């Protein structure tokens, strides 16, 4: 065997010997939420606003997520028809923290910020998140474009899709002035 071939065999064996798997390497903080907000607004983010979850909105959120959001208010950042949201949803067992930017009622950006699950981490890559670009909502809070799943990551795909739908709902709520008390 030549030395180059031995190297490609030895590296995975070293990972196994050290107890490291690609799944455990995939967990982590990819971008801090405040860094995401800073980047989205080109280094000059607006102050955070609060959206109080009223009963009518709570029911719509429950329809999208399939459960209670568990908070009384959400923070968001808004400027010139754009809103940025830091949202979390459980994949299989742990929350997936996601940043979503909505511009004029369409998704501009979806980014996985923190991933805590042992599998499904492929949702962090642009081949998946870019599918949400320019998506909007249609009846029953569904996306107006289909999102391809990832084999072995169904629960993570579902969680991120729910968060995209939720961000669009919340943006529309803000845009229509329904957040005023």
In Å, how far are 76, 139, 177 from 99, measured between CA atoms? 10, 24, 22
Write down the pLDDT at residue 2: 54
Q: Tokens representing 18?
A: 């050290």
Write down the pLDDT at residue 179: 65
List pLDDT tens digits, range 32-82: 999 999 999 999 999 999 999 999 999 999 999 999 999 999 999 999 999
**Do residues 160 and 148 make contact, with C-beta atoms less than 8 angstroms apart?**
no
Per-position DSSP letters for 117-131, written without gaps between them: -SS-GGGGSHHHHGG
In Å, how far are 93, 102, 171 from 85, measured between CA atoms? 22, 8, 9
Indicate the pLDDT class of residue 6, thresholds 50, 70 and 90. Answer: low
Q: Is the pLDDT higher at 48 or at 175?
A: 48
Number of C-beta neighbours around residue 122 at 10 A: 17
List pLDDT tens digits, range 89-112: 999 999 999 999 999 999 999 999
- Specify the length of the chain in residues: 181
Write down the pLDDT at residue 176: 84
Write down the pLDDT at residue 88: 97
Write down the pLDDT at residue 15: 46
Mean pLDDT for the chain overall: 89
């Amino acid at each position: 065997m030549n030395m180059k071939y031995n190297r490609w065999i030895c590296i995975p064996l070293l990972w196994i010997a050290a107890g490291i798997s690609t799944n455990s390497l995939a967990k982590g903080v990819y971008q801090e939420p405040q860094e995401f907000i800073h980047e989205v607004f080109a280094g000059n983010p607006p102050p955070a606003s609060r959206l109080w979850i009223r009963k009518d909105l709570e029911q719509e959120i429950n329809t999208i997520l399939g459960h209670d959001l568990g908070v009384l208010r959400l923070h968001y950042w808004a400027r010139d028809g754009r809103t940025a949201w830091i949202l979390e949803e459980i994949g299989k067992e742990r929350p997936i923290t996601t940043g979503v930017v909505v511009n004029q009622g369409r998704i501009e950006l979806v980014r996985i910020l923190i991933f805590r699950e042992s599998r499904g981490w492929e949702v962090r890559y642009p081949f998946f998140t870019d599918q949400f670009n320019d998506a909007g909502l249609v009846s029953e809070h569904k996306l107006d474009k289909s999102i391809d799943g990832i084999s072995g990551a169904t629960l993570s795909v579902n969680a991120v899709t729910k968060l995209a739908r939720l961000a669009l709902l919340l943006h529309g709520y803000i845009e229509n002035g329904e957040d005023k008390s």
